Amino acid sequence: MTIPYFDLTGKVALITGGSKGLGEQMAYGLAEVGAELALISRTQTDLDRVAAEIHQASGRRVIGVAADVTSEADIERMVGQVMAEYGRIDILINNAGMGGTTPIRDLAEEEWDSYMNLNLKGPVFCAKHVGAEMAKRKKGTIINVSSLFSQIVARYMAAYGATKAALVHFTRTLALEWARDNIRVNALCPGYFETPMNAGFWETKGGKGIIARIPMQRVGNPPEIKPAVIFLASDANTFMTGTTLFVDGGHSLVG
């Protein structure tokens, strides 16, 4: 039985980057507590697969909408499609993003633009268009997925870290701007999580060195992101906005 604070039955959540990785785990978590979902990515086949799997596991209604969130025109079309399907969007999770490591001396203009467009422009314009619909109902919650690297620094991660730090500042500013419309805006900052793509790395010397710096002495398991997302999306935090929540095993404490 779902505790009422965390019950999202009847709510509609839109998740960018929702077809894989932590975004997929977030989608499963929200469906488990009753939310209906609109998953967004650029690849319709991935969306169809995940939507079918979540529906089968939870019984919730799930749609996949292919869109490029670096294009405002595509965002506007996507939001219109989700509104036509559900009639409302209660929760926006700006999760789509890219990572990587490049020394500044080797950073090409095109790579910098890619970081800025996906990690920052996308969330800004998704918030703009989804927030306009939320404001009509005077209710909504937005979760911007930032990163541990909004707080700490690492070599060769200047472009990634800059966009994620900017996203936290955008979150705080938007929270202040939209509080009058009863729209809560918070940031979620994951640390290192094990995924199929990086699983082997944690057994290497470099991977073990990172783990040694994490106070909890391990990386996260993907399902461990779900409770944090449920908390931020639910009525358990109705008096929280402009907050940054780290889920990182304590890594941000020590850098």
- Summarize pLDDT for 168-201 with one digit per residue, the tens: 999 999 999 999 999 999 999 999 999 877 889 9
- The verdict on residue 250 lying in a domain is no
Q: Are 92 and 142 in contact (CB under 8 A)?
A: yes
Mean pLDDT of 66-70: 98
d(CA 144, CA 91): 11
- Summarize pLDDT for 228-248 with one digit per residue, the tens: 999 999 999 999 999 999 999
d(CA 107, CA 60): 43
For residue 119, the model assigns a pLDDT of 98
On the question of pLDDT at 73 being above 60, the answer is yes
Mean pLDDT of the chain: 96
Catalytic annotation present for 160: yes
On the question of pLDDT at 1 being above 60, the answer is no
- The verdict on residue 203 lying in a domain is yes
d(CA 216, CA 127): 34
For residue 229, the model assigns a pLDDT of 98
Angle between helices 44-58 and 21-32 (to 10 degrees): 30
On the question of pLDDT at 66 being above 80, the answer is yes
- The verdict on residue 77 lying in a domain is yes
Question: Which CATH number characterizes residue 105's domain?
Answer: 3.40.50.720
Catalytic residue among 28, 86, 115, 160: 160
Range of the domain at 29: 4-244
- The verdict on residue 63 lying in a domain is yes
Mean pLDDT of 67-89: 98
Question: What is the total count of domains within the chain?
Answer: 1
- The verdict on residue 25 lying in a domain is yes
Q: What angle do CA 75, 224, 13 make, to 5 degrees?
A: 30
For residue 199, the model assigns a pLDDT of 86
- The verdict on residue 249 lying in a domain is no
For residue 255, the model assigns a pLDDT of 82
- The verdict on residue 253 lying in a domain is no
- Summarize pLDDT for 89-146 with one digit per residue, the tens: 999 999 999 999 999 999 999 999 999 999 999 999 999 999 999 999 999 999 999 9
Whole-number percent of the chain with pLDDT over 70: 99
Mean pLDDT of 13-34: 97
On the question of pLDDT at 3 being above 80, the answer is no
For residue 2, what pLDDT band results from cuts at 50, 70 and 90?
low
d(CA 193, CA 17): 16
d(CA 150, CA 169): 10
For residue 204, what pLDDT band results from cuts at 50, 70 and 90?
very high
d(CA 71, CA 173): 22
Q: Which amino acid is at 180?
A: R
